[in-house]
Structure 1
Amino acid sequence: MTLSRRTVIAVGASAALLGAIARAQSSQARINVGFAAGGTLDVIARRLADQLRGKYAESVIVESKIGAGGRIANETVRAAAPDGSSMVLSPSSPMVIFPHVYKKLSYDPQKDFVPVTPVCSNAQTFVVGPAVPESVRTLAQYISWVKGNPDKAGYGTPAAGSIMHFQGLVLQQKAGIELTHVAYRGMAAVVPDLIGGTLPASMAVTGDVTQHIASGKLRALAVTSEKRSRFLPDVPTFAELGFPEVTGVDWYGIFVPAATPAAVVEKLHRLIVAGVQEAPFAENLAKNGFDPYTLPSAEFARRIESEARRWGPIVKASGFTAES
């Protein structure tokens, strides 16, 4: 039998697709993480690797590509082969906010990646420490205190250019106050300064401060979620307090290189969603202050586009830019 040229091309394309799927399933896959080993994101990635091992690939390892607020990990995956063997677990900021912050960004979040699914999300909590008078127990009281003590007002976040950074800016604009932003390298550096009284306040990752709120070392004034957090049910949302513009959660999602075969993306999506729904994984997320959160790939892409449109004007209005 003689095969037409079109048939030969089709067969070749099918073979390439099957080869990519086979490599992803039978060899080694890597989950790249842009933050330090032992941190919350690293822990989540390792739990996810456990869920995928033996189902998606024989070996699934986590590689730390530390630095540049997660950009190095994203750049690594952008340049990787689009066969499903390399993926990144990224927070929302490198995909949504960084394109507006950095004059030169070596990747395009909407062109260089396929968003597979978010894995989890967490709200931010605005907290104050002992540098703020003990009598300050509500957001209204804090705003009043800041207006009377502008030289003492400041808030810390785990990174410049993060969603927390700009949520703090929005709060300032809407409340009519001025706060000095102090950028740290991760929440692990923020918390000691808060508790020690060096830093007055923080737009903080909820999971990193809940135990200190429970012990009384920190006071929670508001959360950024649409509804009250199950981890801090007595703390009002910013929307409840008249600041709906501050609302927004940070999600952590899996991305693979653009041109990764749809069949590979679909399989990875299905396995991640199944893994996130399993009790041990969900329980581990809860211990770290995260909620399970998944979306279909196309819907995830639309969310990224929507959030980029939301934060772009806010970043531009702030005048904040980063060189590298």
Structure 2
Amino acid sequence: MPRFSLDTALKCRAALAAAAVGVLSLAPLAAQAQAAFPTKTITIVVPFSAGGTTDILARVVGQYMSKDLGQTVLVDNRAGAGGNIGTQAVARAAPDGYTLLMGTVGTHAINQSLYKKLAFDPVKDFTPLSRVALVPNLLVTNPSQPFKNVKEMIAYVKANPGKVTFGSSGNGSSIHLSGELFKQMAGVDMQHVAYRGSAPALTDLLGGQIAVMFDNMPSAIGHVKSGKLRPLAVTTPKRSPALPNVPTIAEAGVPGYEATSWFGLLAPAKTPAPVVARLNASILKALADPEVKKKMAEQGAEPHGEKPEQFAEFIQSETAKWGKIVKQSGATAD
């Protein structure tokens, strides 16, 4: 059996002690790195095309956060598969707070019921930061259409079953399901046309290729104010302050109708608590800023900030709610 001298033993002991000190020193360094967050550019991934509501809200909030955090906040549009492509990219990103997702009711409450297989888990793969806004959907039509209100629209669709088209930002999106809910409750037959985002659907609506759309208000309101689109109703229980003269769908002829979209920021799962706290604080500051509030109000969006745990609970309740609507509509993306 080999023997060690006292000198060798002391050297080994000293080496082990040095290694232990090195390991222990990593914890303070990691903590310092988190405390210094952020030290580089932050990217907000928008899983839909540029020009839509998700994109608009990300840019409004991101611009303020950039000032507050002292770092550039970029918006990266990664559209496709009902928001799943961009969402999956964030789920696989490093959990360091530098890659965020502007999630929606679609990506985090609808898609897991709509798709049989997802390459990510909307709950387990993300750390909720805060909701950003609640947004009415707005039923709009091209002015060339022969109906000027909801009752006239219902009568026209019933007289022309299957001929009236309604566009959406994608199969199973909140915009699509708002239309499906309308079809069920109004007892009408309309043809759904899915697009890769709200912006291309709006382009075709403006061009007369489709008849109507249940779009998120921020992306449609500019065209309404310019007279290029005719507003018929909002999908929320109450009228929107942004368009006070536009009735709710419930008021206009479909009692009990309600569909609201929401948007919120999330980080990859296992993002360090200090980083989550810093990002949450920045989001809440942004949503309390008068200029941000003004910009959102002009778009018909209502700022809504909250703590991460509140957002997590909300996502769970919304998943149950929209799961039932998906099942009842028979919508599927597979």
Unaligned runs of 5+ in 2: 1-20
* Amino acid across the alignment from 1:290: A
Is 1:64 the counterpart of 2:77? The answer is yes
Q: Hey, what does 1:5 align to over in structure 2?
A: none
CA distance in 2, matches of 1:151, 1:92: 28
1:106: Cα distance to partner? 1.0
Contact 2:221 2:299 in 1 (8 A): no
Q: Which moved more, 1:205-214 or 1:248-257?
A: 205-214
Change (3 A) 1:57 1:259: farther
Q: Hey, what does 2:219 align to over in structure 1?
A: 208
CA distance in 2, matches of 1:14, 1:293: 35
1:54: Cα distance to partner? 6.0
Contact 2:79 2:85 in 1 (8 A): yes
* Amino acid across the alignment from 2:83: G
Is 1:265 the counterpart of 2:293? The answer is no
* Amino acid across the alignment from 1:45: A
Contact 2:129 2:311 in 1 (8 A): yes
Among 312, 330, 333, the alignment partner of 1:301 is 312
Is 1:110 the counterpart of 2:123? The answer is yes
Change (3 A) 1:111 1:242: farther
Please show how residues 121-160 of structure 1 align to structure 2 within 5 Å: 121-133=134-146, 136-160=147-171
1:26 counterpart SS class? coil
1:23: Cα distance to partner? 6.0
2:332 counterpart SS class? coil
CA distance in 2, matches of 1:12, 1:246: 59
1:53 counterpart SS class? helix
CA distance in 2, matches of 1:147, 1:83: 53
* Amino acid across the alignment from 1:64: N
1:12: Cα distance to partner? 7.6
Scaled by the length of structure 2, the TM-score of the pair is: 0.84
The root-mean-square deviation of aligned C-alpha atoms, in Å, is 2.7
Contact 1:20 1:83 in 2 (8 A): no
CA distance in 2, matches of 1:16, 1:238: 56
* Amino acid across the alignment from 2:44: I
Is 1:84 the counterpart of 2:87? The answer is no
CA distance in 2, matches of 1:28, 1:52: 11
Change (3 A) 1:245 1:159: farther
Change (3 A) 1:103 1:20: farther
Change (3 A) 1:210 1:69: same
Change (3 A) 1:234 1:43: closer
Scaled by the length of structure 1, the TM-score of the pair is: 0.86
CA distance in 2, matches of 1:20, 1:322: 42
Please show how residues 36-75 of structure 1 align to structure 2 within 5 Å: 36-37=49-50, 40-53=53-66, 55-56=68-69, 58-75=71-88
- Give the number of the structure whose alpha-carbon radius of gyration is greater: 2
Change (3 A) 1:62 1:188: closer
1:16: Cα distance to partner? 7.1
* Amino acid across the alignment from 2:116: K
Change (3 A) 1:217 1:25: closer
Q: Which moved more, 1:40-49 or 1:92-101?
A: 40-49
CA distance in 2, matches of 1:209, 1:33: 18
Contact 2:51 2:199 in 1 (8 A): no
* Amino acid across the alignment from 1:196: G
Change (3 A) 1:74 1:274: same
Contact 2:44 2:74 in 1 (8 A): yes
> Number of paired residues?
314
CA distance in 1, matches of 2:316, 2:255: 20
* Amino acid across the alignment from 1:18: A
Among 235, 239, 242, the alignment partner of 2:250 is 239
Among 179, 183, 206, the alignment partner of 1:172 is 183
Change (3 A) 1:46 1:176: closer
1:206: Cα distance to partner? 1.6
Runs of 4+ in 1 over 4 A off after TM superposition: 10-14, 37-40
Q: Hey, what does 1:230 align to over in structure 2?
A: 241
2:200 counterpart SS class? helix
CA deviation string 1:90-148 (max 9, x = no partner): 22211111111112111111111111111223211112224531xx3321221112111
Change (3 A) 1:217 1:96: same
